[in-house]
Amino acid sequence: MNATSSARWLVGLLAIIFISEIAWAGSLALVAGRRDPRVIVIDVERALNPANNGTANAVVARVRVTPDVDTNGDGIPDSPASGLPSNIVVAPDGRTAFAVNHAGNATQATVNVFQHGHLRTVAVIDIGNALKPANNNTTNALSAIIPTGFWGPVGLGLSPNGKFALVANSEGQGKEDGAREISVIDLRKEVATETALLALGNGGQVAQEPGKSCAALATDPALRPMAIPHPNFGCFPASNALGVVRRRGGFAFTANGGTDDVSVIDIDRAIEGHPGAEVARIPVERGPWGLAVSPNQRYVAVTNRESAETGVEGNTISLLDARRAIDGKPGAEVARVRVGTVDPVVPTRPFGLSFTPNGRRIVVANFRTNDVSVVDVQQALANGVNGGSAAEVARIPLTKPGGGPARPRGVAVTSDGRYAVVSGGAAAAGLALGGNGAFCEQVTAVENCGALWVIDLRSNTVAATVTGVGNEPYLVDIAPDRRRH
């Protein structure tokens, strides 16, 4: 190699390194694509460039979270599995992300029939590898695919020492009802090692059908209802989101959509397989789904999404005092705020939520009313559980490019607190209820796929919209700006 060639090679290498560092430097939003079996990675700074608004230009990577499967029985994998990735959690160091696959490695045909009650997995993503162009639209960025051992997982939280993940399994085998298992995954061994079993509920607020007591449903799975809503829900917690409070060794909180409450789980006991890992149960208004822990670890917020018994949708979030909840003291729910409406009877179906880094505000995605609420925490605490909508200090409408309702679900806030990213969008037209594992751009125009909105929290306005983000995308998380670490 001559001097000129060497110089060109060195310049090229430096350019590649520079570009890689630029891509790695800014905040990255990672979105679970749901019916599109990928995690979509978005450069937030690139999204804020006005030239990219309303386009997919800010998408910098798409990560396959399930492998191909054999759908015709010839022994050769031929189609992407419908993993239904529903949740994404970024590790504190920003290098690793965990995608929770609601249907694991189910075949397309199985998931098309009914998208619930499938065995599931957690896909471990190396974010650095995900950003390499050669790995786009492949499973090459996955470092592991870990079965949880149960059905329909959603929530995931990391132990304070980062060595374990707790996963909330929200469904029973082949059904939406029947789940009360929290899987404990040893991340070094890449295997589920223990199961924390949550207590049964009391049957909820609607009377059980004759012969369908909680004891009977626990004994005979055939008696359990298949799908929401049904009056026989209320026995199994069917936990959705899961968050970790780093107090006194660490406690996990789960949003129990089946029993209208929140469980408190001693993480050390769960890791050890102790039968008394669940130490408290806190009632809330209605079918909690989303959950977030305040940065100072003092509060846990949950969205009251909808009743599993009646299907009636909620319009509030609850704020729990973490210390009172851990101690099992009464009055752990210290505030309740109506979001998305001032009318007590208007359903808004709050979905995901997130605290700002300073803990002063909570950003809530209202699925039914296609908007985002900003809640003032101190005002909520001052108003208590009967505070109505007074603590909702802003409401931001969302519009989906290409038409159709915004249907926001996931929320995350950048590490500087300046922006919130919100994922959403209804399922693309023409797909069966359960999804078929097809990538968004293969089944519809990109603008009709899911979207990500970037909200400026100083002005409480939409600063940018990114298209081509999954198909009925669910939750989102932020890989922090590495320039701040």
Give me the domain span that covers residue 358.
82-405
Pairing of the two strands 191-197 and 38-43: unpaired
252 lies in some domain: yes
pLDDT at 152 > cutoff 80: yes
Phi, psi values for residue 24, rounded to 5°: -85, -15
Percent of the chain scoring above 70 in pLDDT: 89
Best CA proximity match to 451, nearest among 397, 394, 396, 407: 407
| CA atoms within 13 Å, Cβ hemisphere of 392 | 24
- How far apart CA 165 and CA 139 sit, in angstroms, is 21
Question: pLDDT category, 17, cuts 50, 70, 90?
Answer: very low
Instruction: Give me the pLDDT at residue 19, please.
Output: 40
- How far apart CA 67 and CA 82 sit, in angstroms, is 9
> Is-contact 475 33, C-beta < 8 A?
no
The helix/strand/coil state of 411 is strand
462 lies in some domain: no
Identify the CATH number of the domain in which residue 381 sits: 2.130.10.10
Tell me the DSSP string of 467-480: E---BS---EEEE-
278 lies in some domain: yes
165 lies in some domain: yes
Question: pLDDT category, 116, cuts 50, 70, 90?
Answer: confident
- How far apart CA 268 and CA 183 sit, in angstroms, is 13
Instruction: Give me the pLDDT at residue 379, please.
Output: 98
pLDDT at 5 > cutoff 60: no
pLDDT at 198 > cutoff 80: yes
175 lies in some domain: yes
Least confident of 108-117, 208-217, 237-246, 387-396: 108-117
Q: How many domains would you assign to the chain?
A: 1
Quickly tell me which residue has 């009377």 as its tokens: 207
pLDDT at 68 > cutoff 90: no
61 lies in some domain: no
> Is-contact 432 30, C-beta < 8 A?
no
Instruction: Give me the pLDDT at residue 482, please.
Output: 62
Tell me the DSSP string of 338-382: E-S-S-TT----EEEEEE-TTSSEEEEEETTTTEEEEEEHHHHHH
- 414-429 pLDDT per residue, tens: 999 999 999 999 887 6
Question: pLDDT category, 71, cuts 50, 70, 90?
Answer: confident
- How far apart CA 263 and CA 255 sit, in angstroms, is 7
37 lies in some domain: no
243 lies in some domain: yes
